[in-house]
Structures are given as C-alpha cells and as structure tokens.
Structure 1
C-alpha cells in the first residue's frame, strides 16, 4: 500500500480560534490556556508546547459531588466538524514552569500536535494573547 502524504502540507486540518492565556500573578509558575478547536478530520490532540513553559499538559476539570476534579489527559479526541471548546471550568491546557509572569498584552506561542485516524501527526503553532480572566470565581 502506498502512503500518500496527504497531511504533509503546512496546514493542519484543524482550525484554532479564540485562543487566549490567563494572566498570572508574579511568582505563579502555572498558567492555563483556552481555545476552540475544530478539526476537519476525526483525530486527537496528543501534545502541546509553548515558548514560555517547561511543559504543557491537557487537563479536564469536572464537578463531582460538588468537588472540582482535575485530570490530566494523554489526548483529547476531536470529532470532524465539531467545535471543541477549551474553556475555564472545563478542558484546558495547563502551562507548567512559567519563566515569567504573564501580563495582559503579552502573547504566548502555543504549538499543538494532532494525530488523525490514520496515525499521521501534524502540528500547528498559534499566538495566544494573554488576557485577564473575565469572571474569576475566586472572590
């Protein structure tokens, strides 16, 4: 069987919109990034990286019996054509080992790695602006 390099082009078949990174306090080593992913193919988000952290993990948050539970995911499944929202209180990317405080107006380069059903992997790098979280529940 001949493998056709269908995804060898520069554009990953995933549209990433509304990306932003939550502003952090000085000395805070962990940040969070949010965005909407829409894939043209069935696949999954398998890894992420950024230019300002030592590591990035995919996390899910869910309420169970009134308790906030956080789980690290190895991958995030994407269904073709369905927008997938990474948002506060739900799925998000955790940025570990920040080397500086993230202030509004800054921009973070996020590199996301995806894999399709056939096992082809591809990456997309996007700029994500740093913003203050609009509604913080920690008052």
Structure 2
C-alpha cells in the first residue's frame, strides 16, 4: 500500500517517541515540511542508473513502497526513510525518480522531505544534498 510522505514521516516520528499513538501522528501530520529537490544527470544507461540509485538509497535508509521494475520501462521510483537531523533523530523520506535520458545517461530527480519543529534542522535539504553528492561521485 502506498503511503504519503506525511504518513511516513508521522509514523517515523511516532516510532521515535516510543510508539506514541494517535496524538504524535496527529501533531506530526500538521507540522511544516522541509522539502528539497535536486535534478541530476547520471552518466549510466537506465538499468545501471536504477541499480546505482537503489543501492545508494538502501544504504541510506529502509526501503518503503517497493515498486517493481517494469521491463522496457522509461521510469523507476525508489523510496526510503532515512535518518536525518541532529543525531539522526528526524526521519527523512527520500524519493528518487530515475528516468531514461538516452543510451548512456539517465536523469534522476531526488526529493527529500522531513518535518520541521521549533528548531529548524533543514533535514530534507541536507539529506538531499548529501545523497546528490554521493550520486555525483
């Protein structure tokens, strides 16, 4: 079942609060999000780019909403929940959309979203920048 970013982030925050039930989820869903998107060109054919992005994101967090690879498809979505913010205590939903861009290149839209409390940690921005730098290597 596909969950929205807000639901995944609320579940992650509730888990950090010791499984705190409905109240934690209620408050978390209403918090502002820090969202950052980065577009990259990866010098790999589509299948290689999907494997590289999937491997990198799997190292960064736990995979959610697995999307089966379509044979001959033009796009692939990969989504994980990673640890971000101070001490890794702020869950970040990272979504990568890999698109076939040509014979030896692929395009990647990397989106990272995290909830922001009173202290702005910019976990979404920082996580997106960190993962984009790793992909660019």
Q: TM-score, normalised by structure 2?
A: 0.29
Which has a greater percent of strand?
Answer: 1
